[in-house]
Amino acid sequence: MNTTVSALAEVRPAYLRRPGARDGDPLDQVATALRSDGYIVLPAPLPPAVLGGMLRHFRSIDRERFKRAGIGREEEHQLNRFVRGDEIFWLDSANPAVAAYLSWMEALRLGLNRRLFLGLFDYECHYAYYDRGTFYRKHLDAFKGNTNRVLSTVLYLTPNWQPRDGGELAIYPPEVDGAPPAEPLLKVAPRFGQMVIFLSEEFPHEVLMVNRPRYSVTGWFRVNNSLGDSIDPAK
């Protein structure tokens, strides 16, 4: 049996299992939210089997195979524990649960292109492990005119997350030159199964101090522009 295709069939109808969600095509709702607000939080979009499979895969990988995450572009790639303390592992479709996730993201890519004409070309993603005491200071994932990242996605895999565990993602309003620093627009709990999607160039964001190991999958939908394979951060 083709796991990828069957998992996708199972995933599509369950796309937006959020409380109070209206009926209708879930992709329409995601597209509408991105068009009007620039972000959306989906409490439980993926089937538990995919999430469970990914967390098992994540935990089965030796910590030595994770890389300290860097900041900046390839040429100025640097490690700075005062900016970010996570460790990352880039994903491909070798693991069946990851393959199901990637198929689901592919359906999302095509659906958003059809609705928003974003011209999203591909999706890249990595696991991120934040140990106790780590964080990721306020940053943008993309700088206007200087990147091929259009949409950022984060899927959280922290089991039994509690408020005392910290590590919320604080999302700030788009910055206006000269305006004082704003309060966060929202804080997203890194709760198992929750996903957030936002415009990479618009929203500064930070991962608050983590008090218990935090598991997530960070990814970016990209356009294919002249930067070619200059990827931020460097793989």
Ligand X SMILES: O=C(O)CCC(=O)C(=O)O
Residues that bind ligand X (CB under 6 A): 128, 136, 141, 154, 169, 205, 207, 216, 218
Q: Please give the residue ranges that form the binding site for Fe ion (CB under 5 A).
A: 141
Smallest separation (angstroms) from Fe ion to the CB of 204: 9
- Chain residue whose CB lies nearest ligand X: 169
Identity of the residue, 87 or 141, whose beta carbon is nearer to Fe ion in the bound complex: 141
- For residues 79 and 60, what is the distance between their CA atoms, to the nearest angstrom? 25
Helices (H) and strands (E) in the chain, counts: 4, 11
Nearer Cβ to Fe ion, position 86 or 141?
141
Cα–Cα dist 37/85, whole Å: 29
Spatial neighbors of 142 by CB under 8 A, at least 6 apart, are 149, 150, 152, 200, 201, 220, 232
Which partner from the list ligand X, Fe ion, none does 128 bind, CB cut-off 5 to 8 Å by kind?
A: ligand X
Count CA atoms within 13 Å of residue 138 on its CB side: 14
Among residues 7 and 167, whose Cβ is nearest to ligand X?
167
**Residue 150 φ/ψ, nearest 5 degrees:** -110, -50
Taking CB within 5 to 8 Å according to partner kind, which of Fe ion, ligand X, none is near residue 151? none
Q: In degrees rounded to 5, what are phi and psi of residue 166?
A: 65, -160
What residue 202 binds from Fe ion, ligand X, none (CB within 5 to 8 A, per partner kind)?
none
Q: What is the nearest approach in angstroms of Fe ion to the Cβ of residue 125?
A: 12
Kindly tell me which of 99 and 169 has the beta carbon lying closer to ligand X: 169
